């Protein structure tokens, strides 16, 4: 599914406020006439977007995947969420626990002019960024590390040690795209890495400063947590 994260408090249902999970569960329950729990490959923060989020539901009613997709999308007509593919999976499939890798993308617009179409969907940085320096520094974060510095104080993960398989930075005109892949991410890890890389691009941090922040294993050493606007959950990989 894809979704615009701007009107939502994030993926996970909340007692109050709109969430992506809540919108989907309401649509599914209305169609299927039963209580439905939607399980996703990952949880996104308020304002974070989805291009290829994967989720699953367990249902007792007999319905074809196409009919289910069409019905859910009809139920989501008033919110910016859309199911773009639907299929039947094995009974032991789980969108979260069966996932082998998750891929994120962060979009920066590097220009002085304000955002129009990209407002709320990209992060504008007015001063020139050195994308090559950002990419070179990013490679220090690739691999198996303790990412305590880059995790939210509210992160619920039991272990701050994660393996980051990829962190690439590339410029396309006045846009800079940062792509990351890992089996799993800590809460705010992607936004925190992007924030610090932006400091490198601005010349405020060196690659050594980024390495020192990582090795400090201390959230107070974080340079900057990027806003959610430019972050996208791109896809999830399964067998």
Which pLDDT score is estimated for 7?
A: 98
Cα 56 to Cα 3, 98, 230: the distances in Å are 16, 11, 26
**pLDDT, tens digit, for every residue of 84-122?**
999 999 999 999 999 999 999 999 999 999 999 999 999
CA distance 57 to 89: 10
Joined together, the tokens standing for residue 219 give 């959230």
Handedness of CA 209, 210, 211, 212 (dihedral sign): positive
Q: What angle do CA 22, 23, 28 make, to 5 degrees?
A: 95
| Catalytically annotated residue among 4, 45, 132, 237 | 45
pLDDT at 216: 98
pLDDT in the model for residue 173: 97
Question: What's the pLDDT at 199?
Answer: 98
The answer for residues whose C-beta is within 8 angstroms of residue 233's C-beta and 6 or more apart is 41, 42, 44, 48, 49, 50, 51, 52, 53, 102, 103, 104
The pLDDT-based confidence of 160 (bands split at 50, 70, 90) is very high
**What average pLDDT does the structure give for the chain?**
97
Does the pTM of the predicted model rise above 0.85?
yes
Q: How many Cβ atoms are within 10 Å of 17's Cβ, its own excluded?
A: 12
- Yes or no: say if 111 and 62 are a contact pair by the CB < 8 Å rule: no
Interval 136-164 mean pLDDT: 97
Predicted pLDDT at 77: 96
Q: What is the pLDDT of residues 37-89, one digit of tens each?
A: 999 999 999 999 999 999 999 999 999 999 999 999 999 999 999 999 999 99
Residues 138 and 201: beta-carbon distance below 8 Å: no
SS3 call for 11 = coil
* % of the chain surpassing 70 pLDDT: 100
Predicted confidence at residue 106, as pLDDT, reads 98
Note the pLDDT of residue 63.
Answer: 95
Active site residue 45: yes
Model confidence band, residue 128 (pLDDT cutoffs 50, 70, 90):
very high
Q: What is the pLDDT of residue 187?
A: 97
Query: Does residue 106 sit in helix, strand or coil?
Result: strand
Cα 166 from chain centroid (whole Å): 15
3-state helix, strand, coil in the chain (%, to 5): 25, 25, 50
What is the per-residue pLDDT for 127?
Answer: 98
The CA-based angle 118-123-128, given to 5 degrees, is 115
Query: Which H or E run includes 27?
Result: helix 20-32
For Cα atoms 235, 50, 9, give the angle at the middle one, nearest 5 degrees.
140
């Amino acid at each position: 599914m894809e979704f615009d994260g701007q009107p939502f408090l994030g993926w996970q249902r909340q007692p109050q406020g709109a969430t992506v999970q809540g919108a989907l569960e309401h649509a599914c329950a209305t169609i299927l006439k039963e209580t439905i729990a939607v399980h996703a490959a990952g949880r996104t923060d308020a304002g974070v977007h989805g291009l290829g989020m994967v989720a699953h539901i367990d249902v007792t009613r007999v319905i074809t995947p196409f009919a289910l997709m069409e019905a859910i999308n009809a139920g989501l007509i008033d919110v910016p969420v859309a199911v773009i593919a639907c299929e039947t999976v094995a009974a032991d499939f789980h969108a979260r626990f069966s996932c082998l890798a998750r891929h994120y993308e962060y979009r920066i617009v590097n220009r002085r002019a304000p955002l129009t179409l990209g407002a709320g969907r990209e992060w504008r940085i007015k001063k020139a960024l050195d994308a090559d320096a950002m990419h070179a520094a990013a490679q220090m974060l690739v691999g198996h590390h303790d990412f305590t510095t880059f995790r939210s104080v509210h992160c619920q993960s039991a272990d701050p040690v994660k393996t980051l398989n990829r962190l690439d930075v590339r410029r396309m005109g006045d846009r800079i795209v940062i792509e990351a892949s890992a089996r799993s991410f800590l809460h705010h890890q992607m936004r925190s890495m992007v924030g610090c890389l932006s400091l490198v691009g601005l010349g405020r941090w060196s690659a050594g400063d980024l390495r020192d922040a990582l090795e400090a294993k201390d959230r107070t050493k974080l340079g900057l947590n990027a806003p959610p606007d430019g972050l996208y959950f791109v896809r999830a990989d399964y067998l």
